[in-house]
Amino acid sequence: MAVSTITETYALYAGGKIGVIQEFYVIPEFRCSGVGALLIEQIRSYGQRRGWSCLELCTPPLPEFERTLSFYQHNGLMPVGGRKMRQNLAING
């Protein structure tokens, strides 16, 4: 029904350990059923037990992600600014 991948890392600005949600996916037919909110709560609880100072994720600032952004805000995550950046390192051919 749903899956998330998370990573524990350290950040100076956060004063120690933080959790990063790398991927978060709910099968379309289970969206709006509470499954996503339950998964976020499980991640939050895990992070509290691990001593994380915060939980972060990145969602692109594109109009098609407005519903996703609304879901995360409704579940306690707030926009803090910044942009996702990437450099592909795969060697072609």
Q: At residue 65, what are phi and psi to the nearest 5 degrees?
A: -105, 10
- Confidence (pLDDT) at 89: 87
Contacts of 72 (CB under 8 A, 6+ apart): 40, 57, 59
CB 52 within 8 A of CB 18: yes
pLDDT in tens, the chain (93 residues): 999 999 999 999 999 999 999 999 999 999 999 999 999 999 999 999 999 999 999 987 778 889 999 999 999 999 888 777 777 887 775
